[in-house]
Amino acid sequence: MTRRLAIDGGMPLFDEPRHVGGPNIVDIPAVLERIEGVLRSGWLSNRGPEVQAFEARVADLAGVAHCIAVTNGTIGLEIAIRALGMTGEVIVPSWTFVATAHALQWQQITPVFADVDPSTHTLDPVSVERMITPRTTGIIGTHLFGRPCDDDALRDIADRHGLSLMYDAAHAFGVARGGRPVGSLGDAEVFSFHATKFLNTFEGGAVVTDDDDLAHRIRLMTNFGFEGKDNVTYVGTNGKMNEVCAAMGLVQLDSIEQTVAANYERYLAYERGLAGLPGVHLLPYDDDARSNFQYVIAEVDDAVAGLTRDALVATLEAENVLARRYFHPGAHRMEPYRSLQPHAGLLLPETERLAAATLALPTGLTMSLSDVDGVCSIVADAVSAHRAIGRPDARLTA
């Protein structure tokens, strides 16, 4: 017997909101202790011992020689783009968080949007190659939702056309592709350690690379261009991570295996709970890739499910489940790109389709397994209620 959904006047299944992006924090006492040590040390910023230790561990996990810890992923993208000498046009997905495109536009570089492969939600190499013009200087792929880009194909394109290849790895810390850790794939890669990410340092990020000269430039740019106490050799900004964030990161690094295990358990619970549901399926994880399982992404085929993605999100919201329509409507439909490139969508059929069909479901340490079961039951009830009526948006328009 189907429960009366909250959107139809029933009681919400959850009293308190269940969020996408709830922070993963395994050991709060250890965080507090380490932060107290920083506060007592008298050294709070400017690449102190915590940042240096954090950088060494991130570089090691990413399988690269250099890590430069930064204030957030967006600053990391901006600095890496500049340090790589990208100008003119750079090819990026539209199917990503808008920061990927903004990091280019912010420095008067045109983001040219390429389409994605729907099986991974990452750049489609065929579409990338089509977008290359004489003004193209680089490619930035996003390892979206922790799914690594097709690095072999993108590297081949970049090499043949003499382009820089960089990755927005905001979602992919701890991920590996065919045994190679994310971080070691592009000329440079950028992690985000925002509160909502797999590894969080409150706010934070890192640029990682194997290239000694590039790392040197990035480090200078992150600290106003200072090379020594009063010697400025480069135009720079202030992108430095502080000691408290690094302390948080160091404690969090100790528990990444636990976080992966918890995420994986929740992913499997969603897989079980949604199995066989008509028109709703999860974006699978590639068996060949090591993952952090940080994102549970569902796609709704409204013709089969009997309800649209938006109707499902509204149904969940009424039950206090705050799923997100990441990354609707696609960067090309956000300003300033919508005005500057009004026809971009014509070449992005998969992006347009995914933008209408995809939602992120709450997972991570703030969600219990029974919470996950509850979310699955709401989805199942919503699908059966809508299929019974046969009108995809019935409850939104009622």
Q: Which residues bind ligand T4K (CB under 6 A)?
A: 19-23, 72-74, 96-97, 99-100, 142, 168, 170-171, 192, 194-196, 205, 322
Q: Which is nearer to ligand T4K, 120 or 142 (CB)?
A: 142
Q: Which tokens belong to 248?
A: 């948080």
Q: Quick one: which H or E segment has residue 168?
A: strand 164-168
Residue 152 CB, shortest distance to ligand T4K, in Å, is: 21
Residue 230 CB, shortest distance to ligand T4K, in Å, is: 31
CB hemisphere CA count around 12 (13 angstroms): 15
In this structure, are strands 280-282 and 358-361 parallel, antiparallel, or unpaired? unpaired
The C-alpha angle 175, 136, 134, rounded to 5 degrees, equals 150
Q: Is the dihedral of CA 149, 154, 156, 162 positive or negative?
A: negative
| Contact status, residue 379 vs residue 277, Cβ threshold 8 Å | yes
Q: Which is nearer to ligand T4K, 263 or 386 (CB)?
A: 263
- Alpha-carbon distances, residue 169 vs 79, 129, 146, 238 (angstroms): 14, 21, 8, 21
Q: Which is nearer to ligand T4K, 256 or 394 (CB)?
A: 256
Residue 69 CB, shortest distance to ligand T4K, in Å, is: 12
Residue 142 CB, shortest distance to ligand T4K, in Å, is: 5
Residue whose Cβ sits closest to ligand T4K: 21
Residue 97 CB, shortest distance to ligand T4K, in Å, is: 3
| Contact status, residue 184 vs residue 63, Cβ threshold 8 Å | yes
Residue 21 CB, shortest distance to ligand T4K, in Å, is: 2
Q: Which is nearer to ligand T4K, 55 or 168 (CB)?
A: 168
The C-alpha angle 116, 119, 121, rounded to 5 degrees, equals 40
Q: Which is nearer to ligand T4K, 195 or 396 (CB)?
A: 195
Q: Which is nearer to ligand T4K, 255 or 363 (CB)?
A: 363
Q: Which is nearer to ligand T4K, 170 or 260 (CB)?
A: 170
- In terms of Cα–Cα distance, which of 128, 137, 133 is closest to 104? 137
Eight-class DSSP state of 274:
H
Give the Cβ contact number of residue 319 at 10 Å.
25
Which residues are bridge partners to 361 per DSSP?
A: 296
Residue 171 CB, shortest distance to ligand T4K, in Å, is: 6
Q: Which is nearer to ligand T4K, 95 or 267 (CB)?
A: 95
Distance CA 78, CA 239 (A): 10
Residue 198 CB, shortest distance to ligand T4K, in Å, is: 11
Residue 80 CB, shortest distance to ligand T4K, in Å, is: 12
Distance CA 356, CA 350 (A): 10
Residue 145 CB, shortest distance to ligand T4K, in Å, is: 9
Distance CA 42, CA 48 (A): 10
Q: Which is nearer to ligand T4K, 61 or 331 (CB)?
A: 331
Distance CA 359, CA 333 (A): 17
- Alpha-carbon distances, residue 102 vs 186, 217, 336, 372 (angstroms): 20, 21, 9, 34
Q: Which residues contact 160 (CB under 8 A, 6 or more apart)?
A: none
Q: Quick one: which H or E segment has residue 166?
A: strand 164-168
Q: Which is nearer to ligand T4K, 100 or 255 (CB)?
A: 100
